[in-house]
Amino acid sequence: FPGCAEAKFLRMQNDAGQNVDLYIPRKCSWTNRLIHAKDSASVQIVVGRVDPTTGLFTGETDTFALAGYVRANAESDMALGELVAAADAAN
């Protein structure tokens, strides 16, 4: 509805107010860039948390998305390591 004054208020929501968009773009956890739908080199990695005393999985996870740009520049290993270290320090 371009040109419509109400266009900025239109959202894809159901009656309960929940977001029902078919596509919600992700952001790269390292660069904060939007990951486009056609970025076939992007990955989403789920890292599990481990109890430091027992070494067992606690059931909690952290999810990180890396854009294809980061992977193409061979920075994904460093980026994931620093993201996990920052998430570990925050918790």
Cut 0.85: pTM above it? no
pLDDT of 10: 62
Alpha helices in the chain (DSSP H): 68-72, 76-90
| Residue 91: predicted pLDDT | 78
pLDDT tens for each residue of 2-39: 555 555 556 677 888 887 877 778 999 999 999 998 99
pLDDT in tens, 48-78: 999 989 999 999 999 999 999 999 999 999 9
Residue (of 14, 18, 32) closest to 70 by Cα position: 32
82 pLDDT higher than 90: yes
Contact (Cβ atoms closer than 8 angstroms) between residue 37 and residue 23: yes
What are the beta bridge partners of residue 66? 43
Rounded distance, CA 43 to CA 35, Å? 10
DSSP code at position 43: E
pLDDT of residue 38: 92
